[in-house]
Structure formats: structure tokens, C-alpha cells
Structure 1
Amino acid sequence: MLPQQYCLRWRYHHSNLQTMFSQLLDREAFCDVTLACEGRTIKAHKIVLSACSTYFESILSQYEEKDPILIMKDVKYIDIKCLVEFMYKGEINVEHVSTPRTYIAYK
């Protein structure tokens, strides 16, 4: 006879995970990649960038360094900042005039 199985469910797993990743980003805790553009940097987590973007997954899979720095040419700092925030939080507030640039950067 097979042992009886139980389903354990974490009721707020998705929202808790999203909140924790956002807090880690805000504190720059356990960050393992740096995005650089316009002379400024943003620290992030490879796992989040790769999970949210095939572009970042492709780029990051090529790096063997522990904490790579990605130089983002032809991208505005505000756009990459919004993009990273969108990846971590699932939503962002942007001015109407910057929406197309942010959308293009995300694609």
C-alpha cells in the first residue's frame, strides 16, 4: 500500500516571494550582477533578470565571472531602472512620454 500524501500549500507564496525579492533589491542584498549605463550602476540578481528576460538569460549564461558588470550601451539609466523595477515588482509608474522607451527596452 502506498503511503498517504498531503499537499502543503503556502497561501501567499507568490506575493511573499515578490516582496522578498523587492526588499533584497532595495537593500542591494545578495546582488550578483551590476548593470551600468550613463556612468551609473544598478545592482540586481541574475536569477530575477534571467527569469524575466530571455535577453538577460542569454547574456548572463555566457559569463563565468561571479559578479559580472553589464555595460548597457544606448540605454538610458532611467529606462533600465524602470525595467529592473518592473521585473521585481510586476508593475511600474512611468510618465506617458517615457512609456515607449521603457517598453522598447523591455522587449
Structure 2
Amino acid sequence: MGEVKSVKVDNWGVFFLQKLQNFFNKTDYCDLTLQFRDNSQLKVHRLVLSACTDYFNVLEQTCEIVDDALIMPNEFQADVVVPIVNFMYTGTLEFELKMYGKLLRTAKEMNMTVLLKLLEAHRRTMENVNRQQRHHHHHH
């Protein structure tokens, strides 16, 4: 047996994720289409979705599929699914504050622990900010 060497690229995960994001943005190699009630569509990679949640596998078993597009249930419309799918590819959740409750429910439904923790942490920071602002007003 010869000597085995192992060399590692430090930021491989970052580089690899960047590649996946590019494929997602150009819809290259996407093998699943999510179709929403307003007929908008989102092309995704099953592998990326499955790595984050089993939920879409369940939907594929239970929902109607038309022309290779998975018809999304009414409670999962683009306004809530798009930010979550973007999160899967980037690790960043961008959302309008009014969507908070809906995102929280959806994260629970999809059983996405990472996302739940992120949202709950965000709520704590918001509450702290509000508390400080209220506190601030007492002084005047």
C-alpha cells in the first residue's frame, strides 16, 4: 500500500453552493417544477429540496402533477415558498415582516428545524429592539 495523501479545499462548501445557486438562477438541471395557484412556476432541484426537508417528497406522493409540474396546495403559495426555496440555496431568508407568521407556520409544516430556529431567533431580536425603543420613550 502506498502512502495516501489528502488535500482539502477550505471553502469548498461555499464554492459548491455558489454553483448550485447559479444552476437554480439559470434553471439548469432543474428536475422539478412547482406550480402555484396564480400559475406562476418555480423550477427547483429535487436534491436540494430533499436535503432540506422531506416535505416535497410527500407532496409528490399526494398532489396532482400536471405537465411535469407539481400543483402546490393552497396554503403553499409563491409568497411563502419562494423565500424558503431561496433560503435552501443561500442560507439567507429574505422576507417581508408581514409574512413572518406564515413563514413560521410553513417552516413547522415542512419540519425545517434550521429555518424554525432562524425565525425564532429573529423574533427574539425584534422583541428586544421593541423593548429598547419602549424603554427609550420612558426617559422623555
TM score, norm. by length of structure 1: 0.83
**Equivalent in the alignment of 2:88:** 87
**Equivalent in the alignment of 1:25:** 24
Percent identical:
23
Tell me by how many angstroms 1:48 deviates: 0.5
Higher mean displacement: 49-58 or 82-91: 49-58
Tell me by how many angstroms 1:16 deviates: 0.6
**Equivalent in the alignment of 2:50:** 50
The aligned length equals 103
Q: Measure, in 2, the Cα distance between the counterparts of 1:71 and 1:48.
A: 19
Tell me by how many angstroms 1:44 deviates: 0.5
Unaligned runs of 5+ in 2: 111-140
**Equivalent in the alignment of 2:71:** 71
Higher mean displacement: 69-78 or 20-29: 69-78
Letter in 2 for 1:30: Y
User: Higher helix share goes to which structure?
Assistant: 2
Tell me by how many angstroms 1:104 deviates: 2.1
Which of the two has higher C-alpha Rg?
A: 2
Q: Measure, in 1, the Cα distance between the counterparts of 2:58 and 2:9.
A: 32
Q: Measure, in 2, the Cα distance between the counterparts of 1:68 and 1:87.
A: 22
Q: Measure, in 1, the Cα distance between the counterparts of 2:61 and 2:13.
A: 26
Tell me by how many angstroms 1:100 deviates: 2.0
Q: Measure, in 2, the Cα distance between the counterparts of 1:16 and 1:5.
A: 25
Larger RCO (alpha carbons 8 Å, 6+ apart): 1
Q: Which runs of 4+ in 1 moved over 4 A?
A: 58-62
TM score, norm. by length of structure 2: 0.65
